[in-house]
Structure 1
């Protein structure tokens, strides 16, 4: 298929955002991104495809559909409007569907063009999206969407409305087939497109300041009589609401897509031999510990964080954000990356490094949206058949009123149920503090490891002391120390009771004294555990995980060691 070649750039262009005069060819070279204010102008479908895909893409042939079933006429008959749009754009419809590659990895792409009747969704668009999705399923190829639309096409009436279901079914078909779907929402994406296939991909990237929603802001303001929040319905607003994964500037989109595609089509390599990590499997091989001293080391502010582990352990790591419901909890970090060439999903608690970040991340105590984000990423792992790695380091769940109002108990319980049935390998590492259900919500794993200065307990020593050590004659510090010992929460005891399968020795006086070596040891241990579990079939993984947790509490005599 030959699309219309864009007209040569005007010599000088006034940016609608900052009103600066920009040299036209320079604006074209910068992909219509204003060098002054960064405003992202619209691209045609062929231009966007040329930007994102390798040279040599080919159009997917789609049979014509009968579009004018209503014989609709406004100022002109609908067929005349279609004919004019086709002449002006060189496209048959408001979406161009192609086969191609991104950095050599195959992809089926459906790219919308706002020039064609406002990128509206009608029977022709719905048929093309569906055929492209069917092609991706048949060829086992990731599906890429780029949307730009004002909504459903009025000239096709209820038939246009039905395309929302048709295209949503196509996305469900891709889910059922385990095909990765990636969406790019551009300005604007509204109405029936936003409420169907644009917001259903596994990963949603948004261009800066792209406006996305069902109803337009003017309609909402007029209907409700309310002043809308600053930046309402922009990509940045949606990111804060947990509805998109990332806001990515146009020049960086191709690279971001390539990183995501590596999770669907990895290029494995043999793991490097590394025998420097020794995992302790017997409790008697670990020293007796003072409980309170262990807690203090587990909480040390200089221990590696999940963000640092992710960057160090995984190649091509890309953070994915939001629970797609209510928000993006900063106390949970997760995303996809390559561990020894094997794609994995990593999720962990993030306490933060300095005081400011710790406050911003709520000291690693997740809100319900954090657990839901983790669950969403785990479901993505199950869909794509990727191992899950979790890193546990939290005092516990968010103790606030808002967390309870938003269903904290429900969110934790849902994760426990979800992780129990994941048909993929799950490896958890307690890297610092494992506190209560807030930790366990990431801890339902086939293999559970702990660093040697980590702790794991039903409650913090402070909480336990406040509830059970009420004697006013016992100093608080002494009560907390008694509780820490009584809870048997350090690595030696955890291994003795079978809570963890192995303990990774920390260097020097602890992980905080050599974070790089600590992260290397964890990477080696996790990679080995994932390789071992990869030999087990999905049913065996689920059965083994359930058998593990079914066994706790069966010891009738003794202390369990």
Structure 2
């Protein structure tokens, strides 16, 4: 249902025409009532006009649920600052024009029925600048959420730190950052909506420290403003410089949404991050594996390799939309880029919220080229690393779906630290204090696959494999010809049967006759059944027991015939 928002403080009427508004984006004259119905988004150019704090709150929260938090008056002029006007006079004028006592409004509300603490900035109050009082209120919002164990929802619109309060303003960056740090350490969820504009001390503190960052379409976000940047470096800037779309492409935000899509997304995110796991399955023993899991068909390894590479074979995104109940994709490594060869986010599976990370190849030639044939760059692994941190911070189990020929071997990957990125994620997942269930769904090439295979439970689909090198690569090195690839595959014993027999894989997930590609829906049902079973089992362990069992599991791989490992898995120790 379309929700209308009150007229924002920043929406200016055309001179002499109180019922009309001039769009700052295209200059088109817009009828105010039509603009109100369209959530203050220009229907001609899609420019998102700025909203005041109260309008933003009305847009996002359940009707009638917001209760403002009152604050005792604080010190208003720590430097006795004067420029062309006394600072107290500027504060009084800002309050009169915006209708707010400061540049942020704090309170409690419900979003989609979930109780939250909200802190929403108002650009109409001195450009949303952050002074001592803003720092105090945002910190109090985080403290209130921590005190009551609630999610924190932030919306930013700010020019940065408040110059009139000097170094006192500067140190509010540290004040609010530590408040959000305490909230995160308590395992609580936070989300920040980055609205236009968000700059300076706000962008470099709480605006970019939330668990999930959502940019409003077309908003400008950065540290230094574009004029400052251009005057400093004397270079032409990209046309989309510092837009949220620019940030998404460079891996710096999780999503970019239109104004109408913000509330539905927040409802989904809050639902996923506040849902409790369903009751564990009856019985204390380890549940039986999926049908056929204990008796994996011993097929020719080269046939396994060929089936694992079938273009029509379901990919991670296919499974996310069929085997799982809901999925919200999160993007970017928060440092450099968003690698499309790795997808990940938060999903729901049989009433349990999980973080899912997987390789993505695509199906068509266009998709495969765009996703680099499922071969990740370092930023793909760093995106996965960030999602592992997200899972641990919020106490969510992790599911990984592995299907890659290997990590991207190009020079740009080496320049950006491919080896280090893979090593970091392997180490991090080996010590993660939440359960990890990995599934090899297709190809499992070398360290690029192992990066997502370090887990408590390793499942492998019937026609999938793990290998230290591709059969072609092995044949070229040892047999001096790639034609010997089938011989190399057999020599390396590629396939699910060998992985299960040696205890490297804890179970084999059967596929429909002929392979997963012949009946993707049935393949998704089989995968879902196996995941639900494994998660119910492994989620019973406390973190210390989980780490000890994982350590023993990894230490025993390659010892004896692997059967000792199965005894560890069977008791979940």
Contact 1:349–1:364 under 8 Å retained in 2: yes
Name the SS for the 2:171 alignment partner.
Answer: helix
CA RMSD of aligned residues (A): 2.1
Range moving further from structure 2, 308-317 or 447-456: 308-317
- Aligned pair count reads 549
Asked if 1:523 corresponds to 2:528, the answer is: yes
Aligned to 2:402: 392
- Measured in 2, the distance between the counterparts of 1:510 and 1:555 equals 32
> Counterpart in 2 of 1:504?
509
Q: Match of 1:200?
A: 209
1:557 CA displacement: 11
Equivalent residue, structure 2, for 1:60: 69
Structure 2 distance, partners of 1:288, 1:529, is 23
**1:67-86 pair list within 5 angstroms:** 67-86=76-95
Deviation at 1:21, TM superposition (A): 2.4
Q: Residues of 2 paired with 1:138 and 1:264: CA distance? A: 18
**Deviation of residue 281 (structure 1)?**
4.7
Q: Secondary structure at the match of 2:40?
A: coil
Q: Distance in 2 between matches of 1:444 and 1:362?
A: 23
User: Within 5 Å, which residues of 2 pair with 1:296-445?
Assistant: 296-445=306-455
Whole-angstrom CA distance in 2 between matches of 1:543 and 1:494: 22
The SS at the match of 1:264 is: helix
- Pairing 1:216–2:225 present: yes
Query: Relative to 1, partners in 2 of residues 1:19 and 1:556: Cα closer, same or farther, differing over 3 Å?
Result: closer
Q: Secondary structure at the match of 2:321?
A: helix
Counterpart in the other structure of 2:39: 31
Alpha-carbon distance, 1:287 to partner = 2.9
Question: Do the aligned residues in 2 keep the contact of 1:62 with 1:131 (CA within 8 Å)?
Answer: no
Alignment of 1:80-95 (within 5 A): 80-95=89-104
Instruction: State the secondary structure of the residue aligned to 1:398.
Output: coil
* Cα distance in 2 between the residues matched to 1:347 and 1:279: 25
Question: Could you tell me which of 51, 55, 61 is aligned with 1:47?
Answer: 55
Would you say the 8 A contact 1:276–1:521 is kept in 2? no
Answer yes or no: is the 8 Å Cα contact 2:504–2:562 preserved in 1.
Answer: no
Is contact 2:176-2:206 (8 Å) kept?
Answer: yes
- Measure, in 2, the Cα distance between the counterparts of 1:348 and 1:311: 13
Partners of 1:241 and 1:501 in 2: CA distance = 38
Distance 1:389 1:511 in 2: 19
CA separation in 2, counterparts of 1:542 and 1:263? Answer: 25
Change (3 A) 1:557 1:23: closer
Equivalent residue number for residue 494 of structure 1: 499
Partner SS, residue 509 of structure 1: coil
- 1:501 is displaced (CA, Å) by 0.7
Deviation by residue 1:254-288 (Cα, 9 ceiling, x = unmatched): 11111111122116557999x99834454xx2332
Deviation of 1:5 (Å)? 8.3
Contact 1:279 1:525 (C-alpha < 8 Å) held by counterparts: no
CA distance in 1, matches of 2:430, 2:438: 13
Q: CA contact under 8 A between 1:57 and 1:99: conserved in structure 2?
A: yes
Does residue 158 (structure 1) correspond to residue 163 (structure 2)? The answer is no
Which structure 2 residue ranges, 5 or more long, are not aligned? 1-5, 567-573
What CA deviation, in whole Å up to 9, does each residue of 1:476-521 have, x standing for no partner?
43x1111010111101111111111110110020001001110111
Match of residue 550 from structure 1: 555
| Residues 1:230 and 1:129: Cα distance change in structure 2 (over 3 Å) | same
CA distance, structure 1, for counterparts of residue 384 and residue 7 of structure 2: 44
- Deviation readout 1:417-446 (Å, 9 max, x if unpaired): 110111111111100001100111011111
Give the secondary-structure state (helix, strand or coil) at the position aligned to 1:98.
Answer: strand
Q: In 2 relative to 1, CA 556–144 (structure 1 residues): closer, same or farther, beyond 3 Å?
A: closer
Q: Aligned partners of 1:77, 1:330: CA distance in 2, in Å?
A: 52
* Contact 1:240–1:328 under 8 Å retained in 2: yes
- Aligned residue for 1:72, secondary structure, equals coil
C-alpha contact (below 8 Å) 2:131/2:172 kept by paired residues: yes
Bigger shift: 223-232 or 427-436?
223-232
- Whole-angstrom CA distance in 1 between matches of 2:552 and 2:307: 32
Answering whether residue 16 of structure 2 is matched by residue 11 of structure 1, we say: no
CA deviation map 1:449-502 (0-9, x unaligned): 0110001111100111111112xxxx643x111101011110111111111111
Pick from 461, 465, 485 the counterpart of residue 455 of structure 1. 465
Residues 387-431 of structure 1: CA deviation (Å, up to 9, x unaligned): 100000000000100001100110000001110111111111100
Q: Specify the alignment match of 1:259 in structure 2.
A: 268
Cα deviation, residue 317, structure 1: 1.0
Task: State TM-score, norm by structure 2.
Answer: 0.93
Q: Contact 1:432/1:454 (CA < 8 Å) preserved in 2?
A: yes
Which one of the candidate residues 283, 292, 296 is aligned to 2:302?
292
CA contact (8 A) 1:295 1:433 kept: yes
Answer whether contact 2:200 2:223 (CA < 8 A) is retained.
yes
Note if contact 2:8-2:51 (Cα within 8 Å) is conserved in structure 1. no
Work out which of the residue numbers 533, 543, 546 in structure 2 matches 1:541: 546
State the 1:20 CA deviation. Answer: 2.3
CA-CA distance at 1:18 after TM superposition: 2.2
Q: Does the C-alpha gap of structure 1 residues 259 and 556 become closer, same or farther in structure 2, counting only changes over 3 Å?
A: closer
Q: Give the whole-Å Cα distance in 2 for the aligned partners of 1:40 and 1:262.
A: 27
Residues 6 and 301 (structure 1 numbering): CA distance in 2 closer, same or farther, change over 3 Å?
closer
> What is the alpha-carbon distance in structure 1 between the residues aligned to residue 302 and residue 242 of structure 2?
48
Q: CA deviation at 1:61?
A: 2.0
SS at match of 1:457: coil
